[in-house]
Amino acid sequence: MAKQTKAAYEIEVDGFTCKLSEPTRQVLKIVYAKMLKADGSLNLVEGGEIMLNSCWISGDKEIKENDNLFISACLSACQLIEVKEAKLKKL
């Protein structure tokens, strides 16, 4: 059986780009834990930062060095979280 390759994604911010791999389950668990605050609100920047750093394949160093580019890329990286509809039934 052939090994399935993970998808890659590109984020572009002001002409600078980076390539990210698909997040693993372990990365998603960490992102969810950091993103969801105790009061129920979301900290998208912190979750996105973990996603960006954990899934980074290659890209322009300016994205990591410039705060505005970095924050924008972090927020965009949150879009890698794909939530499917699930249904719970009582049996």
The pLDDT score that the predictor gives to residue 37 is: 86
Strands 16-21 and 56-59: antiparallel
In whole angstroms, give the CA distance from residue 44 to residue 50.
Answer: 10
Question: What pTM did the predictor assign?
Answer: 0.81
What is the pLDDT tens value at each position of the chain, 91 positions in all?
445 556 799 999 999 999 999 999 999 999 999 988 889 888 999 999 999 999 999 999 999 999 999 999 999 999 998 888 999 999 9
Find the helix or strand (DSSP H, E) in which 58 lies.
strand 56-59
- Per-residue model confidence (pLDDT) at position 19: 96
